[in-house]
Amino acid sequence: MKRLMARTNAAKAHAAKRAAARKEKDAIYERREYLAGKVQQERARLDWLKDARKRRQEDYMLGPLAPRRDVGDMMERWGTIPEQLAQRVEVPEADLPKYFPYVAGDRVCLIEGYDKGKIGVVHSVYEESMSIIVEGLRQTEAFIEPNIRKVEGSKEPTRRINLPIPISDVRLVWSLTSPITGHMRDCIINEFKIETETETETGVEYPARRVVPGIPDLEIPYPRHDETEDAVDEPWDTLRIHTEEQTWVPHEMMYPMPSSVIDELRSKYSKTREVHDADYVAKKKAADAREEQKKNLHLLMQIQKAANAPKREALAEQVLERLGAELAKRRGFAGGKEKWLAKKEA
């Protein structure tokens, strides 16, 4: 069983190492795609501005002789923004913040662009591209495809839309009391931090409040959205007393699903599997017991061998003498060692 656990741990460590390498490789690829998308979008924006300046100069120079440009394919698209500029490039996941600083309902002020200095309410947020939609600000005309118009039942080829604004171009607005006049006025919050809390039951961390560094008493809460404001009770709705009633209490040793379903969700013979069948565990434990018994027998044999070592050393000289006599007899030295020495001296 120890060998099985070691194999599982080694397989998990190897899988984690491969996953980390794959994650790093994917992050590099996403960042490369993001930079390429930004360059392509910036190039399209510059080309669009260059063409607009060129057309404006031609219209100024030609005057009444300036050509009509809202003809042909541009009849319905004239004056609209290109689709490529109406969307923002998605930011790599590794560069995204843990908590998005703005939510729907926040009041923000634009600090860049042609709507600079205007205050609006956040309508929606796009965490993937680090941008937000502000009601009534950064608007432009966009072309609507014919198939979309057919589904919506609209005949207008263009529609006024709100462009996504990067969060670097906005600042949070909050009403504070002026220490001089004592009246409430809107102030631009240039920097704030997000404090989190952890639920006791689930252990999940969530953003709780926004605070301004240096002003401990200033707390900017998140806008509250009453989702039950438009709720209407219907005859087929389930009563709360029935939905909160606890009708089944599972045993703590009970599987959350049948074992066959568990084998379908994860591989039964996976190297990283930690929970095994009872018969398989018993088989492995029996094999470990046999190996341990063999080790104990080998140890007992070594102890017995060490105990018999002095006896073997005492018998070694006698055995060697008998072997020497037998060899001398077979080779013609039957007289023994003395006769052999005398013959050698003669």
User: What are the extents of the domains in the chain?
Assistant: 1-67, 278-337
Average pLDDT over residues 101-114: 90
User: How big is the CA angle at 343 (ends 341 and 346), to the nearest 5 degrees?
Assistant: 110
Residue 308 is inside which H or E element, if any? helix 278-330
**Residue 277, C-beta contacts closer than 8 angstroms, at least 6 positions apart:** 259
Average pLDDT over residues 220-233: 73
pLDDT band at 12 (very low <50, low <70, confident <90, very high): confident
Max mean pLDDT among 95-99, 165-169, 327-331 falls in 165-169
List, in sequence order, every beta strand (DSSP E) within 27-118.
Answer: 107-110
pLDDT above 90 as % of the chain: 18
Average pLDDT across the chain, whole number: 83
Between residues 289 and 19, the one the model is more confident about: 19
Q: Which of 32, 171, 31 is nearest to 92 (CA)?
A: 31
pLDDT band at 227 (very low <50, low <70, confident <90, very high): low
pLDDT tens digits along 36-88: 999 998 998 899 899 989 999 999 999 989 888 888 878 888 888 887 788 88
pLDDT of 206 higher than 60: yes
Query: What pLDDT score does 339 carry?
Result: 61
pLDDT band at 133 (very low <50, low <70, confident <90, very high): very high
CA distance 77 to 162: 17
Average pLDDT over residues 130-151: 88
Q: How far apart are the first and last CA of the chain?
A: 75
CA distance 306 to 295: 17
pLDDT tens digits along 266-297: 777 788 887 777 888 888 888 888 888 888 77
Per mean pLDDT, which range of 175-189, 284-298, 318-332 is the poorest? 318-332
